[in-house]
C-alpha cells in the first residue's frame, strides 16, 4: 500500500549551513535569472520519489519543504554545484565504490573535517573515467558545506574562465580571491581536461594558473580536493615534479582502477525517468 505524502518529507536545511548574504544572493540571481520556483516540486508542494532511495523499488508522493529546498539550492549554487550535483546522495554510490578504499578514506576525513581544515590536508582522486571520483568530491563538499565551512566546486576549464574574468575588473578579482582562491575547501575537478581545449599557449596558461592556485592554497594551509583522469606520471609531466611532490605531501591520495560504473547509474536514471520521479536536493 502506498504511504501518504505526509509520511515522506524531505529533510530540512542543516543547522550549520552558511546562508548567503544579500549581496551574494543578488549576484547569484543576476547571473542565473530570478526564478523563485522550487527546483524540486516547481511550486506544487508534492513530488514523486522512491520511498527508500537506497532500495529504489517503490515510488511514493513526498511533501516538499519548498523554502528549504530553495535555500539549499542557492547555497549549493553559490558553491559551484549545479542542480544535478545538488541532487546526488550517498545512495548513488554503487556497491563497487562503497567497497573501494577511497570511500573509507572519505568517511574518515569527514569524521573530523575541522582537523583536516586546520592541517591544510586535502584529497587527491586519480584514475580512470567513470569511477566515481567527481561524485565523491561533490558529496564531500556538500557535507563540508553543511558543517558550516566555505567551499567551491570548479570544473578546471571553468575555473580558468573564472580566472580570466579577473583581468577585466577589480570586482571580479575580489570575487575570485574570496570565493574561490581562499575558501576553506576547494574542489578542482577534471584537472588535465583543459589539455583538450585550445592551443599550446592556452595550455601553458592553464598550467600556470593551476600551479599558482595550488601553491597558494598549500602555502596558506587551505585544503584542496583534486580529481584527475591523468596517471601520476602524466600529471608530473604536465605540471612539474615539484608541484606533484607538494600535492602528494598535502593530500590523501586515492587511485581508482575499477571498471566504469556509469552504466549502472544510467540504468537507475532511466528507471527514474520512466516513473517520472524527481530527485530532491539533499546534503549527502
- Count Cα neighbours of 239 within 13 Å in the Cβ-side half-sphere: 27
When mean pLDDT is compared across 57-61, 74-78, 94-98, the lowest value belongs to 94-98
Is the confidence at residue 43, as pLDDT, over 60?
A: yes
Indicate the SS3 state at residue 224: strand
Q: How far apart, in Å, do the first and last CA atoms of the chain sit?
A: 28
CATH 3.30.530.20 fits 95-256, yes or no: no
Q: Where in the chain is the domain with CATH 3.40.50.300?
A: 95-256
Indicate the SS3 state at residue 205: helix
The answer to whether residues 100 and 258 touch, using CB atoms and an 8 Å cutoff, is yes
Is the confidence at residue 2, as pLDDT, over 60?
A: no
The more confidently predicted of residues 259 and 160 is 160
Q: How many CB atoms lie within 10 A of CB 141?
A: 26
Residue found under cell 592553464: 206
What's the pLDDT score for residue 258? 66
Q: Mean pLDDT throughout 71-83? A: 95
Indicate the SS3 state at residue 155: strand
| H-helix or E-strand spanning residue 170 | helix 170-176
How far apart are the C-alpha atoms of 183 and 178, rounded to whole Å?
7
Amino acid at each position: 500500500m502506498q504511504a501518504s505524502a505526509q509520511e515522506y518529507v524531505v529533510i530540512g536545511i542543516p543547522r550549520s549551513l552558511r546562508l548567503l548574504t544579500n549581496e551574494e544572493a543578488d549576484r547569484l540571481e543576476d547571473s542565473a535569472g530570478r526564478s523563485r520556483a522550487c527546483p524540486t516540486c516547481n511550486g506544487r508542494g508534492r513530488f514523486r520519489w522512491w520511498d527508500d532511495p537506497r532500495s529504489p523499488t517503490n515510488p511514493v508522493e513526498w511533501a516538499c519543504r519548498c523554502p528549504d529546498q530553495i535555500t539549499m539550492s542557492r547555497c549549493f549554487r553559490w558553491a559551484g554545484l549545479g542542480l544535478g550535483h545538488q541532487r546526488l546522495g550517498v545512495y548513488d554510490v554503487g556497491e563497487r565504490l562503497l567497497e573501494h578504499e577511497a570511500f573509507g578514506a572519505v568517511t574518515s576525513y569527514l569524521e573530523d573535517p575541522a582537523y583536516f581544515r586546520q592541517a591544510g590536508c586535502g584529497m587527491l582522486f586519480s584514475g580512470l573515467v567513470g569511477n566515481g571520483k567527481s561524485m565523491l568530491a561533490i558529496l564531500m563538499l556538500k557535507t563540508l558545506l553543511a558543517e558550516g565551512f566555505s567551499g567551491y566546486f570548479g570544473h578546471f576549464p571553468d575555473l580558468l574562465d573564472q580566472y580570466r574574468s579577473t583581468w577585466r575588473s577589480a570586482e571580479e578579482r575580489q570575487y575570485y580571491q574570496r570565493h574561490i582562491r581562499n575558501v576553506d575547501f576547494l574542489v578542482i575537478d577534471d584537472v588535465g581536461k583543459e589539455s583538450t581545449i585550445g592551443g599550446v599557449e592556452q595550455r601553458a596558461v592553464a598550467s600556470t594558473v593551476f600551479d599558482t592556485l595550488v601553491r597558494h592554497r598549500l602555502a596558506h594551509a587551505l585544503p584542496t580536493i583534486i580529481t584527475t583522469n591523468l596517471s601520476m606520471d602524466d600529471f608530473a609531466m604536465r605540471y612539474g615534479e615539484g608541484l606533484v611532490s607538494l600535492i602528494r605531501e598535502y593530500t590523501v591520495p586515492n587511485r581508482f582502477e575499477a571498471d566504469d560504473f556509469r552504466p549502472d547509474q544510467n540504468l537507475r536514471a532511466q528507471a527514474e525517468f520512466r516513473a517520472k520521479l524527481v530527485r530532491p536536493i539533499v546534503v549527502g
